[in-house]
Chain A
Amino acid sequence: KNEVEQSPQNLTAQEGEFITINCSYSVGISALHWLQQHPGGGIVSLFMLSSGKKKHGRLIATINIQEKHSSLHITASHPRDSAVYICAVRDAGGTSYGKLTFGQGTILTVHP
């Protein structure tokens, strides 16, 4: 079993729909990242969470440390949101450094 599991693996939506991508992990963590990767490879960091909820524009990320679960929500989805969304966790090593473990990614396609 992978340490980081994302669901769904593939997601297709119509423009304007509300989208949720889930991430579950099995280890104690000190931080969780949500990343976005467009075709061609470039990766952008969307959020870094250690507790609670963060919002940036139409994107919302939440984390429940006790349940070892995080969600990424996209409100009013748009075709430009089409990308791969990747969840990554850093284990609770107690330091500011450490390796990230990645989920397998969720491929999101938003149709006009």
Chain B
Amino acid sequence: KAGVTQTPRYLIKTRGQQVTLSCSPISGHRSVSWYQQTPGQGLQFLFEYFSETQRNKGNFPGRFSGRQFSNSRSEMNVSTLELGDSALYLCASSDTGASYEQYFGPGTRLTVT
């Protein structure tokens, strides 16, 4: 089976712009979780989607949003980008949920200038 894929791998945006990141889970996996990793805060949970429904979300402002499609592919969107949004954004898929073994994608490195 192919692993979790994320596109794009690298992205440079300007403050105030918006960005959409994409994640394709392992075939058959219905859960997709998103995480933000920064040097200062480490890994932080953004949200989890399961069968097109958001099941849980972390403590991030409303500028961070996501969705999941019927084929389990997921997107996350960040509006009105701030310098502090520069981070590695990782998604992980699981066949059942975030408490079960997760398979991580390579991440998208977002730089906001």
Contact of A98 among B35, B97, B107 (CB under 8 A): B97
- A45 with B102: CB separation less than 8 A: yes
Residues of A within 8 A of B31 (CB): 97
- B104 with A45: CB separation less than 8 A: yes
Among A86, A90, A104, A105, chain B packs the most CB atoms within 10 A around the CB of A90
- Mark B25-68 against chain A: 1 for CB-CB distance below 8 A, else 0: 00000010101010000111100101000011110000000000
How far does the Cβ of B60 sit from chain A's closest Cβ, in whole Å?
11
B interface residues, Cβ below 8 angstroms from A: 31, 33, 35, 37, 42-45, 48, 50, 55-58, 88, 90, 92, 96-104, 106-107, 109
Q: Which residues in chain A, 46-91, are within 8 Å of chain B measured between CB atoms?
A: 48, 86, 88, 90
- B101 with A104: CB separation less than 8 A: no
Contact of A45 among B43, B96, B103 (CB under 8 A): B103
How far does the Cβ of A34 sit from chain B's closest Cβ, in whole Å?
11
Among A31, A48, A98, A101, chain B packs the most CB atoms within 10 A around the CB of A98
- B107 with A97: CB separation less than 8 A: no
- B43 with A86: CB separation less than 8 A: yes
A112 within 8 A of B: no
Among A35, A43, A44, A104, chain B packs the most CB atoms within 10 A around the CB of A43
Residues of A within 8 A of B99 (CB): 30-31, 90, 95-98, 100
